[in-house]
Structure 1
Amino acid sequence: MRRSVLYMPGANERALEKAKTLPADALILDLEDAVHPDSKVDARKRVCEAAASGEYGNREVTIRVNGSGTQWHADDLRAAAEAGPDAVVVPKVDSAAEVHAIERALEAGGAPDKTTIWAMVETPVAMLHAHDIATASERLSVLVMGTNDLAKELRADHVPGRAPLLTGLSLCLLAARAADKDILDGVYNNVQDLAGFEAECLQGKQFGFDGKTLIHPGQVEPCNRVFSPSAEEIEYSRRVVEAFEQAGRGVVTVDGRMIENLHVDNARRILAVADQLNG
């Protein structure tokens, strides 16, 4: 499950400790935007120790390294490979060639097979190359939308409904699904606007995103709730599967709606998610 994926500043030891108690599905221990240049080296050591500690329970633990072209990138990848987190999150991935370079660096550093690549797509170039990025490597498991940087590059306003970003969101979602990868929606900046945040979570769920990246612990609970199947969805999905199996034929009706294989597949997916949450 990757409903809620929370960024935690790598330079803040208290934040890394607090993350052990938060109900987020996954954590991104951040070495990039959240860390001042003077603190990068110390934060790298702290984050890699945290990721290797095994003290975060069932949460997926990832490390966001500094981007290609920065003075910290190579050392970040080397240290992250040795730490062996669940994934390494790499900002501003624009091409398949960059994915290949990241993969080579992780393998050279001895990264275990479990350490996958999460590629952040956050530029117009990345939107246009999303499928190439998503299919570049078996080690790549997730695309992460960088909506703040995308809006900046587009010279677009941050507006409710995100109309300026919808083309990019759709292109990346298409690429992820075509490549059978997960994809995470971008962050919501106003941590005090929980109504606006919840509306954007719902939009992301309706689009088909697997979850959302978050910047504040207060966003975790509403995000988990929105990206979890509701009681009504679960009950309806059970009835769809039961009706289809009892009929033993291609098309049935439930609540006046025509049900065929694709609806049953979706119902089974919802029930599988519910079982995972309850398990």
Structure 2
Amino acid sequence: IPKLSRIEDIRRERAAHHAAQAGSDIALWAMIETPLAVLNVAAIAALGEGPGVPIECLVVGTNDLARETGVRLKGGRTGVLPWLSQCVLAARAHGLAVLDGTFNDLNDWEGFHAECEQGRDLGMDGKTLIHPRQVQMANDVFAPSAEEVAWAEKVLAAFNRPENATKAVIVVEGQMVERLHERMAHRVLETVTAILPPE
């Protein structure tokens, strides 16, 4: 849903889908690209858990936010970092995916790579792209590393052992691991499945 600003925009979209008797395989992506949307992002994300067409993802529209606020999207994106983090927190609080905004210079691969790394460091699940040439580099950055995958598999294997079935905390290779790490490990493997092509 582009240009949404309030939860009423989501409700109106859901009502339209209901009236059209749209299929149950539809999910909404909420474009967070207005100042009001950023201010209301927690309430918007909370609707993802409500009845009707589900919200699956928040997409941060950094270009539109910059245009509407006067913030300059210079290297490092200092002006929008608080908004990006706010969107990540809202998404995580309500179990949604969150995608970073686009990078506009198709000739600046170093800048694109740096912005992908920044997005991943901020907790973004991926990045919206403007050209197919950007796909591979974005996937390379946002895909878990081989080490992260191996660790995730070890954590899941450890929690799956019968003797650990009821434990909240265990030790894996000398490190304390909690059930939250189990959920993180599942997320790592889900990301790999989503990004990497089937063999």
Q: What is the TM-score normalised by the length of structure 1?
A: 0.61
Structure 1 residue 235, shift from structure 2 partner = 1.9
8 Å Cα contact 2:154/2:172 also seen in 1:
no
Structure 1 residue 272, shift from structure 2 partner = 3.7
Give, in whole Å, the separation in 2 of the partners of 1:218 and 1:186: 16
Correspondence for 2:133? 218
Q: What RMSD in Å do the two structures reach over aligned CA positions? A: 2.2
Correspondence for 2:13? 102
Correspondence for 1:152? 67
> What is the DSSP-based 3-state SS (H/G/I as helix, E as strand, rest coil) of the residue aligned with 2:103?
coil
Highest CA radius of gyration, 1 or 2? 1
Give the letter aligned to residue 182 of structure 1: A
Give, in whole Å, the separation in 1 of the partners of 2:78 and 2:155: 34
Please show how residues 4-43 of structure 1 align to structure 2 within 5 Å: none
What runs of 5+ residues in structure 1 fail to find an aligned partner? 1-89
Correspondence for 1:207? 122
Q: 1:214-239, CA deviations, whole angstroms, 9 ceiling, x for partnerless residues?
A: 00111011111111111121123233
State how many pairs are aligned. 189
Correspondence for 1:30? none
Change (3 A) 1:110 1:156: same
Give the letter aligned to residue 128 of structure 2: T
Correspondence for 1:252? 171
Give, in whole Å, the separation in 1 of the partners of 2:160 and 2:25: 37
Structure 1 residue 259, shift from structure 2 partner = 2.8
Give, in whole Å, the separation in 2 of the partners of 1:109 and 1:240: 45
Q: 1:173-220, CA deviations, whole angstroms, 9 ceiling, x for partnerless residues?
A: 111122222211110111111121111112212222221110011101
Structure 1 residue 261, shift from structure 2 partner = 2.8
Give, in whole Å, the separation in 1 of the partners of 2:193 and 2:37: 35
Q: Which has the higher helix share?
A: 2
Please show how residues 111-150 of structure 1 align to structure 2 within 5 Å: 111-136=22-47, 137=50, 138-139=52-53, 140-150=55-65
Structure 1 residue 275, shift from structure 2 partner = 4.8
Please show how residues 86-97 of structure 1 align to structure 2 within 5 Å: 90-97=1-8
Change (3 A) 1:132 1:160: same
Correspondence for 1:266? 184
Correspondence for 1:87? none
> What is the DSSP-based 3-state SS (H/G/I as helix, E as strand, rest coil) of the residue aligned with 2:128?
strand
Structure 1 residue 278, shift from structure 2 partner = 6.1
Give, in whole Å, the separation in 2 of the partners of 1:145 and 1:272: 22
Give, in whole Å, the separation in 2 of the partners of 1:265 and 1:106: 32
